[in-house]
């Protein structure tokens, strides 16, 4: 029997991409042998469609039949692995695409493999506070808080938790613009007055901060992506990748070294 070769690798790539069940079928067969009925149940396609797919896989030498089951060949395993990697990359790219214009330029310079370690939480029209909720969940797991441009951590959803953490002795340092601190002190006068009197709570200000925020939360880094005009939190990206943490720590320390304490007259009475 003549085996299918096609005119170009793009022919096989296009063949796999045209129907979602084809890649999932090939990947499933790399895990263990499966029958046609099991593959139909797994992918949700009809028996006739699955039979045709398996015949086409067989023509390409990607699978072979073993009794009533099908198994992948080494060729099929290679193709399945490559397609999984491609799909993972495209999924990561699609997530990053929505926040790319808000990311620090340095993030784009990290190896692509590191991007898959990023957790991306984007505000949606029906869920505008998703990024804030993500920061709250990260705050609840940390024993130290270091924030450059901490607006997201000062929003109502996070502030009660931040106030409680400081009261419990968690060491926290916030570096932000003077107008942000003025808002913080005037919006939460009682709790902010209580917090700034704590030895474990430090408030610093800086006149020239980046357009994004950085949170150093133990081993995790949270990057807040703000709308440049309104300051609205568009997304939060967090990761525990060591290289990202080293970059974030360096940026934070650079601004901290030139930040100044909030003047006593600016603190809540």
Domain ranges of the chain: 9-87, 102-266
Predicted pLDDT at 23: 95
- Looking at the chain, the whole-number percentage of residues with pLDDT higher than 90 is 56
Domain 9-87 has CATH 1.10.10.10: yes
Average pLDDT, the chain: 88
**pLDDT (tens digit, 9 = 90+) per residue, 21-71?**
999 999 999 999 999 999 999 999 999 999 999 999 999 999 999 999 999
- Give mean pLDDT, residues 129-155: 92
pLDDT in tens, 74-115: 999 999 999 998 988 888 888 888 778 778 888 778 877 777
pLDDT of residue 226: 86
Least confident of 4-8, 66-70, 117-121: 4-8
Q: Quick one: pLDDT at residue 229?
A: 64
CATH of 102-266, one of 2.160.10.10, 3.30.870.10, 3.30.420.40, 3.40.50.170: 3.30.870.10
Q: Is residue 157 pLDDT above 50, yes or no? A: yes
- Judge whether residue 193 has pLDDT over 70: yes
Q: What is the DSSP string of the chain?
A: -PPP--SSHHHHHHHHHHSHHHHHHHHHHHHS-EEHHHHHHHHT--HHHHHHHHHHHHHTTSEEEETTEEEE-HHHHHHHHHHHHHHHHHHHHHHHHTTGGGS-HHHHHS-HHHHTT-EEEE-BTTBTTHHHHHHHHHHTT-SEEEEES-GGGGSHHHHHHHHHHHHTT-EEEEEE-HHHHHHHHHHSHHHHHHHHTSTTEEEEE-SS--SEEEEEETTEEEEEEE-TTT--EEEEEEE--HHHHHHHHHHHHHHHHH-EEPPGGGS--
pTM: 0.74
């Amino acid at each position: 029997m003549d085996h299918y070769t096609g005119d170009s690798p793009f022919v096989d790539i296009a063949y796999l991409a045209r129907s979602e069940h084809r890649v999932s079928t090939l990947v499933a067969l790399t895990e263990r042998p499966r029958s046609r009925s099991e593959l139909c149940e797994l992918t949700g396609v009809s028996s006739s469609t699955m039979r045709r797919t398996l015949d086409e896989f067989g023509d390409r030498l990607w699978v072979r039949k073993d009794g009533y089951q099908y198994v992948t060949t080494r060729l099929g395993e290679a193709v399945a692995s490559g397609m999984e990697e491609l799909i993972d990359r495209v999924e990561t790219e699609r997530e990053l695409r929505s926040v790319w214009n808000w990311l620090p330029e340095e993030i784009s310079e990290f190896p692509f493999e590191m991007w898959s370690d990023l957790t991306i939480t984007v505000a949606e029209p029906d869920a505008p506070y998703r990024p804030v909720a993500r920061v709250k969940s990260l705050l609840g797991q940390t024993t130290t808080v270091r924030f450059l441009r901490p607006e997201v951590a000062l929003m109502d959803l996070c502030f009660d938790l931040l106030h409680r953490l400081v009261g419990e002795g968690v060491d926290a340092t916030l570096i932000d613009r003077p107008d942000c601190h003025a808002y913080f002190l005037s919006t939460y006068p009682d709790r902010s007055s209580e917090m700034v009197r704590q030895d474990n709570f430090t408030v610093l200000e800086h006149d020239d901060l980046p357009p994004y925020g950085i949170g150093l939360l133990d081993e995790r880094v949270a990057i807040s992506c703000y709308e440049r005009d309104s300051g609205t939190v568009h997304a939060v990206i967090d990761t525990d990748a060591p290289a990202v943490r080293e970059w974030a720590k360096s940026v934070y320390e650079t601004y901290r070294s030139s930040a100044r304490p909030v003047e006593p007259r600016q603190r809540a009475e």
